[in-house]
Amino acid sequence: MKLVQSSLQQVVAVAGVAMLVALPNLANAQQRVVPAQSEIAFVSKQFGVPVGGKFKKFDAEVTFDPKKVEAAKVNFNVDLLSADIGNSETEAELKKPGWFNSQKMPQANFTSTAVKAIGGGKFEFSGKLSIKGISQNVVVPVTLTQSAGVTRAVGSFTLKRLDFKIGDGEWNDVSLVANEVVVNIKLALTGVPPL
Amino acid sequence: MSPRYDRVAILFHWLMAVMITASFAVGLYMVSLTMSPTRIKLYNWHKWAGVTILTLAAARLLWRLKHTPPPLPPTMPKWQTSAANVAHVMLYILFFAVPLTGWAYSSAAGFPIVWFGWIPLPDFVPKDRELAEFLKPWHWMAAYALAAVVALHILAVVKHLLMDDDNLMSRMLPNMTGDKK
């Protein structure tokens, strides 16, 4: 009995030590987004007029080591209900089924499928962008810079709103509301290993 | 016959008369609509017209400063000539105030103006939700003030036509006979 107890203690001790060793690695594996210093903005053209806004709520799970990009993973969620256009009428319109249908489908998601380093702190994040239950492959070029332990990721890509049935029906006239929507991403991340 | 306004002044007058009337009517109609492609088109046309009116107002003011209008008939009582002068100063102030408040409101609401969908105009106020709410009634009030002064202006024309019989309106009518002034 004493022998059993002792070996049990040993197992617990070994497990404990193993966890202590493993924890820093776990902490390294997950990078954190600093929301206050991050921004997801978008702009499209309405009759030639640039109209855009920001998403106030988003979160991301990022596993990223610039030296091991093949293991990188990004899972990004944006709360479409949090769109801030600066104009209540347009925001109310955007929530409607023809646009984001965000009361029913509030989440837009980007899940990376492959990350490629192209040098000079530049990376290409390929993945699936899902909005309104429609998934499309997108490639997001991102430039990383690091200072004082914070990694800033700046990227931009253009999506076609009609590919996601955003602005369906009476709004599908792209001469009135352009099909192209430019999404501008600025993220501040902590815990990213050096470039 | 009393001396006439010059041709350029007459052109400015009628061009702006038509554009202001149309913009005011479109403005009244468009705000009654719920969000739709038609509404967005009307808003943009209204803004293009507004900026055009602002440009015409600036050109007209410069013209007016160099070209003194014909004097009012000496038969008019002093208070009437004073009232006419005040009304015309008000019109010129509002030619600027209405488009400028509209432009500022549009910028604050996050819709910069692209004139004729072609020339992007600068925002002279920042995009700001509260500022937009503050500016909205000022554009509205300026537009109604302009409509009120225009109404007075037309009433005065009718009075001169029917009561004074001094043919004052002919000074601003295009010269249909082709005679030199």
Give residue-wise pLDDT tens across range B77-123. 999 999 999 999 999 999 999 999 999 999 999 999 999 999 999 99
Q: What's the pLDDT tens digit per position in B54-79?
A: 999 999 999 999 999 999 999 999 99
- CB neighbour burial string for A143-173, b if at least 16 within 10 angstroms, e if fewer: ebeeeeeebbbebebebebeebbbbbeebbe
Cα–Cα distance list, A31 to A58, A75, A173 (Å):
15, 12, 41
Continuous segment of H or E residues that includes residue B168? none
**Spatial separation of the C-alpha atoms in residues B162 and B166, rounded to whole Å:** 9
Taking CA atoms, A44 is separated from A57, A94, A183, in Å, by: 20, 13, 9
Question: What is the rounded average pLDDT of the residues A173-179?
Answer: 95
Judge whether A51 is closer than 8 Å to chain B, CB to CB: yes
Contacts of B36 in chain A (CB under 8 A): 170
DSSP per-residue string spanning A115-182:
EEEEETTEEEEEEEEEETTEEEEEEEEEEEEEETTEEEEEEEEEEEGGGGTTT-GGG--TTTB-SEEE
For A36, which DSSP code? G
At B136-160, the pLDDT tens digits run: 999 999 999 999 999 999 999 999 9
- DSSP E strands in chain B: the ranges are 114-115, 119-120
- What percent of chain A stands above pLDDT 70? 85
Rounded distance, CA B97 to CA B89, Å?
A: 12
- 3.30.2010, 1.20.950, 1.10.10, 3.30.1490: which CATH number matches B7-172? 1.20.950
- Mean predicted lDDT score pLDDT of chain A: 88
Cα gap B123→A109, rounded to integer Å:
34
Percent of all residues in chain A with a pLDDT value above 90, rounded to a whole number: 78
pLDDT of residue A24: 44
Average pLDDT, chain B: 94
Q: What is the tens place of the pLDDT at every residue in A182-191? A: 999 999 999 9
Distances (CA, A) of A188 to A104, A129, A152, A163, B180: 30, 21, 5, 29, 73
Q: Is the Cβ of B41 closer than 8 Å to some Cβ of chain A?
A: yes
Residue A25 clears pLDDT 50, i.e. is over it: no
- pLDDT (tens digit per residue) in A145-174: 999 989 999 999 999 999 999 998 999 999
Q: What DSSP element (H or E) covers A85?
A: none
Inform me whether the C-beta atom of residue A174 falls under 8 Å from chain B C-beta atoms. no
- What residue of B is the nearest CA neighbor of A89? B35
Per-residue pLDDT tens over the stretch A108-118: 999 999 999 99
The span from the CA of A41 to the CA of A57, in Å, is 11
Angle of the B78-108 helix axis to the B129-159 helix axis, nearest 10: 150
Of the pLDDT bands very low, low, confident and very high (cuts 50, 70, 90), residue A11 is: low
Report whether B29 contacts B22 (CB < 8 A).
no
Per-residue pLDDT at A22: 46
Q: Looking at the partner chain, which of A48, A49, A170 has a beta carbon nearest the beta carbon of B37?
A: A170
Closest CA to B96 of B33, B139, B42, B35: B139
- pLDDT for the residue numbered A69: 92
Taking the domains of chain B in order of start, what are their residue ranges? 7-172
ipTM above 0.90, yes or no: no
Task: Return the residue matching tokens 């501040």.
Answer: A188
Does B32 contact chain A (CB < 8 Å)?
no
Contact A86 B118 (CB under 8 A): no
